[in-house]
Amino acid sequence: MSHDTLPRPTKLREPAPQPTGSPRRRHWTKRANPVAGLGSLIWLVVVLVPIYAMLSASLTRQDQSLTGNPLKPPSDPTLDNYSTVLNSGFGHLLGNTAIAAIAVVGLVLVLAVPLAYVAVRTRNRWSGAAFRLFLLGVAIPAQAVVVPLYLLIAKLGLYDTLPAVILPTAAFAMPVSVLILTGTLRDISEELYEAMALDGASSLRMLFQLVIPLAKGGISTVVIYSALQAWNGFLFPLIFTQSDGPRVLTLGLFNYVSQFGVNVPALLASVVLSGIPIFAVYLVARRSLVSGLMGVGGK
């Protein structure tokens, strides 16, 4: 056989380089979405215009508040409205509201975290039935049980005190808080529980060393949710308190309607001052709040 008739070796093709990222994801990240951008801009305007109008009106003098364009910046801004509010007992209302919010958050965390842990880790029908029964509280409005609550608080001698506001608020914040924490705890890997069990860890040790550190997102969500319930609550302070001693911000703002019935700038100044603390809490924990809410629909 001659050398020319020998078969030539076939040249192997080099594999084509694979894209490092997903083409679909790269396509969507580079593609502009004007509809979504326009919708976001409209939503931003809807949110910011009332806030701007409220801030602008709170800096307006009383004799100029009902004249002119409400969206026009004040020609002669003043802080007298804020001074009027601060000198009318606003500090006392703010202190009572802060105490109620901290107490509600503490009660909810102390009770809801262990309850969610038991609901996730206990594998029997009784725990599941108890969990579903507990969540029925989501469907029960506070207005439906306000009369029995009033009689119960009066029997306990708590009427016209801060605990009369704190205890019902914490109770009605519990169902949603347990639901949020349950969704967060179900995302914790089973292997982590088994590894700690092999090390001889008790259930209490698992709760403090495994569950709580890995559930910071859900816990932050519960903190903000329960604090908002206490900060914005109006029904329980209105029904269960009477004197000025345990009065909170929402009831104080309600009374400002008559006290500052004509002084609109002072009323709006009190609204601005009452919203600053809870808005600051939201700014600090907003990332944890979003991650915790995403865990509600977990496994």
Phi–psi pair at 140, nearest 5 degrees: -100, 115
Q: Give DSSP secondary structure letters for 13-54.
A: PPPPPPPSS-HHHHHHHHS--HHHHHHHHHHHHHHHHHHHHH
For 74-90, write each residue's pLDDT tens digit: 888 888 889 988 888 88
Tokens of 265: 């700038």
Going by C-alpha positions, the residue among 147, 153, 165, 137 that lies closest to residue 249 is 165
For 187-208, write each residue's pLDDT tens digit: 888 888 888 888 888 888 888 8
Looking at residue 264, its pLDDT comes to 82
Q: How confident is the model at residue 289 (pLDDT cuts 50, 70, 90)?
A: low
pLDDT (average), residues 175-196: 87
C-beta neighbour count of 298 within 10 angstroms: 13
Going by C-alpha positions, the residue among 225, 217, 205, 197 that lies closest to residue 281 is 225
Q: What is the mean pLDDT of the chain?
A: 82
Looking at residue 297, its pLDDT comes to 46
Is the pLDDT assigned to residue 97 strictly greater than 70?
yes
For 212-257, write each residue's pLDDT tens digit: 888 888 898 899 889 989 999 999 999 999 988 899 998 888 877 7
Q: How confident is the model at residue 71 (pLDDT cuts 50, 70, 90)?
A: confident
For 134-170, write each residue's pLDDT tens digit: 778 888 888 889 999 999 999 999 999 999 999 999 9
CA 189 – CA 259 distance, rounded (Å): 56
Is the pLDDT assigned to residue 296 strictly greater than 60?
no
User: Do 207 and 173 meet the contact criterion of CB atoms below 8 Å apart?
Assistant: no
CA 139 – CA 148 distance, rounded (Å): 17
Report CA-CA distances (Å) from 224 to 14, 25, 35, 66, 220.
57, 33, 32, 36, 6
CA 55 – CA 270 distance, rounded (Å): 11
